[in-house]
Amino acid sequence: MMENQIDQELLEKIADMLGKPVGSFNIRKDSSCADRQSTENIQITDKTDGKSGIEIRIKDGTVGEKCHIPVIITKSGVEEMVYNDFFIGENCDVEIVAGCGIHNCGDQDSRHDGVHTFYVGKNSKVKYTEKHYGGGDGRGGKIMNPETVVYLEEGAFLQMESTQIRGVDSTKRNTKIVCGKGAEAVITERLLTHGNQTAISDMEIVLDGQDAKGRVISRSVAQEESEQVFYPRMVGNAASFGHVQCDSIIMGNAKIKSIPAVIANCPEAQLVHEAAIGKIAGEQLLKLQTLGLTEEEAEDCILKGFLA
């Protein structure tokens, strides 16, 4: 494992890693593999199609195991495109922890583009967590463009939690999930932008099978001069249920555009969407200030609770 303090701080922020994780893991640093470990049930290997990235294969019936696959960039000027493929067997119950952290102290942009494709077998449950963070005092940008594609077979379940902590100058997030018969996807997205940062989130949940279910919960905070665009879509192609909820707090001179959509291609599809954008209520700040907090402390407390 790496001993560098910056590496350790990044890994803790994006993957909750304190020292060497238990189980399988692949740590990517500055466009190469820094450390890797497979287990009997979870095998991690390099891709064989010429593309940069890894393949993660999880055996049928694997239960209670966790796989860490974080990416960190600590050099200015690094730009990479990575493809990671996950093949998850039937009747599994596993957790996958990803995330990307960029520490840029130089003048050149550092950029990570990653495509994660999941094939989830029948009746398997997957919890997938990813956090994105940018730091460093350089003038170079911290750019991340994650793409996630998931195919859920019959009875499969996905819980996906995607969080942009702070410090990412530009991001375009593409997510597509296809739910088979009786499959369910619950997606929670949390996003914070500040300064002149921009963020675009394009998400599509396709309910392809009978009794498929999908839920999207998006919460964001835009501060200062930053801009955000959300475009979540729930598509019902069969007798299914889908719900999209987008809530945003806008501050300073920020701009937010939220465009939720529901698309029914079957008379028995039940689809709902909600969207709200607003500022922090004055009475919320006042109440916390009466408890002894400063205005800045009260504001920070509200935002942490909103994004929790």
pLDDT tens figures, 137-189: 999 999 999 999 999 999 999 999 999 999 999 999 999 999 999 999 999 99
* Spatial CB neighbours of 280, under 8 Å, sequence gap ≥ 6: 249, 251, 299, 302, 303
Look up the pTM and report it.
0.94
pLDDT given at position 2: 53
Burial 238-276 (b: 16+ CB within 10 A, else e): bebbbbbbbbbbbeeebebebebebebeeeebebebebe
Model pLDDT for residues 37-75, shown as the tens digit of each residue? 999 999 999 998 989 999 999 999 999 999 999 999 999
Query: Rounded CA gap, 174 and 250, in Å?
Result: 23
Whats the size of the chain, residue-wise? 308
* Spatial CB neighbours of 71, under 8 Å, sequence gap ≥ 6: 28, 29, 82, 98, 99, 100, 101, 112, 114
Report helix, strand or coil for 104. coil
Output the six-digit token pair for 61: 């019936």
Closest CA relative to residue 193, chosen from 217, 224, 214: 224
Tell me how many degrees the CA angle 189-68-44 measures, rounded to the nearest 5: 125
Name the pairing type of β-strands 93-97 and 125-135: parallel
Model pLDDT for residues 160-169, shown as the tens digit of each residue? 999 999 999 9
Model pLDDT for residues 226-247, shown as the tens digit of each residue? 999 999 999 999 999 999 999 9
DSSP string, 217-230: EEEEEE-TT-EEEE
Closest CA relative to residue 115, chosen from 163, 71, 161: 71
* Spatial CB neighbours of 292, under 8 Å, sequence gap ≥ 6: none
* Spatial CB neighbours of 306, under 8 Å, sequence gap ≥ 6: 219, 221, 247, 249
Report helix, strand or coil for 172. strand
Task: Indicate whether 106 pLDDT > 60.
Answer: yes
